[in-house]
Structure 1
Amino acid sequence: MSSIGLDPVLLRHGNYTLAMDVTLGSSVLSLDWTAPDGRSHALLVPSVADSVPFKTGCFVMAPFANRIADGSFPFDGRTIHFPVNRPAENNAIHGLSRNRKWVLAESTASCLSTRDECRDAASGYDYDLTQTIEIDASGVNFSLTITNRSAKKLPFGLGYHPWFTRTPKARLSFRADTSFTRSERGLPEVACDSAEIYDFSAPVALGSMRWLDAHFANWSPRAAVLDLPEMAVRITLSAAGCLGNLQVFAPDDRAVVCIEPVSHVPNVCNRPAFARFGDLTVLDLGESLSGSMRIAASQLESSQTSSTGDPNA
């Protein structure tokens, strides 16, 4: 794994400033927003030179998102193997591209495109992955397109893994019909009605929440709202394309929350019964899969810093 690059690429437009390390997985190192009151806020937990990579900022997950049990699964008469990079759980996690050196395809003051041409002999995955990030006046758009370059058809998935600040009074809300119980290895076990185990349809206080690592399907509308009353900031994350599921991670040892739009249920390649809740997409040579995420900030009014209604209404 490489260290964070010394010369990040900077994008600026309006009240947003974003820094990227193209050489390390095309990862976002920081995303800052200047509020109407003139104060600057870090929307993502920023990466610095001595931080642990991938536990700050935002990274790309491809050609699969989250976990695969034992790093392997059967497909089309053969077994596909990925590196078991979470040995304590015996899982492969977060794909290949976050560890790879990408190249900068094009860049302007407010937009850039990066590219990963992955030819992985161990797994048999050959693909081109393009990320485009564009800042407009009201937010930041992130988009991914992955194209199969293998002569054999292969299943693909995508996702984004942003790390947001979790203040003591932070509140999160979104709507999803389905959630899953979780095994000790972090794998989905049983599909349930979200209201039975993780109900975020009304804002949920995150400040004192114990460890949470939960997957959600039938996320509709595809919008999650994170209120940070101490900063008077509301962050709205939305998604489109293949990113129809959501993973939420809030550890009990760090003041962060990850709100991750993804294309499929973790380990669905080994749990075909979960395919109806979000499956990998099989691509033939030259076929592509695309998804997008948007992050936008706004200032909370004084009446919203102490309480809020359902922002998804």
Structure 2
Amino acid sequence: MSQKRAGDEIELRHGDLAVRVSRAGAAVTAATYRGTPFLVAAGGPDGAMANFAMVPFGNRVEGNRMSFAGRDYAFLPNTSDPLYRHGDGWLGFWELEEASPAHALFCFSRPADKVSPYAYLTRQEIRLTGDTLALTLSVENRGQTALPFGLGQHPFFVRTPETRLAIAAERYWNERPDHLPEKAGPVPDEFDFRSGKLLPQKWMNNAFEGWNGRAAIAWPELGIQAALEAEGALDRFMLYVPVDRSDFFCLEPMSHLPNGHHLADFGGLAPLSPGEVIAGKMTILMSGLPVQSEVR
């Protein structure tokens, strides 16, 4: 597990954007636009991450085991959760390969071990351009055999009472008690954000498919809005709305479904031979909104 050390964080700035990034997990730890936070530090092993990379895949593996190409593989829990969760990148200490006032490039590699059978090299580039925060993540299979790989981003967006989300999907997966997906079906009305609406005042931890890679978030009280786009392998997403905290929600672009190792076609996980790579990019374009006036 990574441990934060003095000097691990650097600050990136460009125009109205300011972002802090850490070598611990190649994580964003703070992000503001015109001085107003739009990501909140609420995740990671010590709760200090506002966005982290999920690699070599995201979410959980049922039973901490999988079978692929006629072989069985096992995982060990990597956090207090009983199931191996979110890969290893968010728990590792990344090397800083390049840095400038508006961008940073990190890399992280690990061998296969008893915790995970995956050996890989991953890179995360964080770049500010105009009013856009861009995160580009890639992973290369450095093992001896092919395995199903995936990746994703896990941002923790600020949540206010009037936060509105607009995003469209064709299919929705309901959630089992163990937080794994159960079955796919039509998107329920309460989770249908095609026309944009307030976030639900209830627990939500669901995967969605049939996404065009675009979303819009508006914070009327804060006078800001975000246009999110996902490219490359990131063609699915998770929505997480907790009930024990009301200050954040997560919209997670992913290349695959949770527990893809146990789903048909590996839930979108990409079988990579040694040396093969997959990549995905998430951009968040910030802009202003008229500040919502208080009704008296």
Which position in structure 2 is the counterpart of 1:129? 122
Residues 181 and 190 in structure 1, CA contact (< 8 A), matched pair in contact too: yes
User: In the alignment, what sits opposite 1:142?
Assistant: 135
Question: Structure 1 CA distance, aligned partners of 2:117 and 2:88?
Answer: 12
Q: Is the 8 A contact 1:44 1:56 kept in 2?
A: no
Q: Distance in 2 between matches of 1:169 and 1:45?
A: 17
Cα distance, 1:105 vs. partner? 0.5
Shift of 1:143: 0.3
Indicate the residue corresponding to 1:14 in structure 2. 15
Give the match's secondary structure for 2:84. strand
Return the offset for 1:29: 0.6
> CA RMSD for the aligned pairs?
2.1
CA 1:9–1:103: 2 relative to 1, 3 Å: same
User: Partner residue of 1:311?
Assistant: none
Provide the residue aligned with 1:37 in structure 2: none
Contact 2:151 2:254 in 1 (8 A): yes
In the alignment, what sits opposite 1:244? 235
Work out whether 1:97 is the aligned partner of 2:89: yes
Report the CA distance between 1:76 and its aligned residue: 1.4
Match of residue 202 from structure 2: 210
- Deviation track 1:51-99 (CA, whole Å, cap 9, x = no partner) reads 96246410010111112112211111222222224666x4221111111
Which residue of structure 2 lines up, in the alignment, with residue 292 of structure 1? 281
SS in 2 for 1:132: strand
Show structure 1 runs of 5+ residues with no match.
Answer: 35-39, 307-313
Query: Partner of 1:309 in structure 2?
Result: none
SS of the aligned residue for 1:176 comes to coil
Match of 2:172 in 1: 179
User: Does the 8 Å contact 1:179/1:191 carry over to 2?
Assistant: yes
| 8 Å CA contact 2:45, 2:91 repeated in 1 | no
Aligned pairs, how many?
291
Match of 1:42 among 37, 40, 51: 37
Which ranges in structure 2 are unaligned for 5 or more consecutive residues? none
SS of residue paired to 1:92: coil
1:267 corresponds to: 259
For the residue of structure 1 that corresponds to 2:108, the secondary structure is strand
Taking structure 2 as the reference length, the TM-score comes to: 0.92
Please state how far the C-alpha of 1:211 moved relative to its aligned partner.
1.0
Residue type at the aligned position of 1:101: F
User: Is the Cα–Cα contact under 8 Å of residues 167 and 228 in structure 1 kept in the other structure?
Assistant: yes
Query: Take 1:77 and 1:86, find their aligned partners in 2: how far apart are those partners?
Result: 28
CA offset at residue 223 of structure 1? 1.1
| Offset from partner CA, 1:215-263 (integer Å, 9 cap, x none) | 101112x111111111011122210000000101010111210110000
Q: Secondary structure at the match of 1:259?
A: strand
CA distance in 2, matches of 1:174, 1:213: 15
CA contact under 8 A between 1:232 and 1:305: conserved in structure 2?
Answer: no
Task: Give the structure 2 partner of residue 310 of structure 1.
Answer: none
Q: Distance in 1 between the 2:92 and 2:260 partners?
A: 24
1:109-152 deviation per Cα after TM superposition (whole angstroms, max 9, x unaligned): 11111000111222331110011111101201100111111121
For residues 152-179 of structure 1, give each alpha carbon's deviation from its aligned partner in whole angstroms, at most 9, with x where no partner exists.
Answer: 1111000000001110111111011010
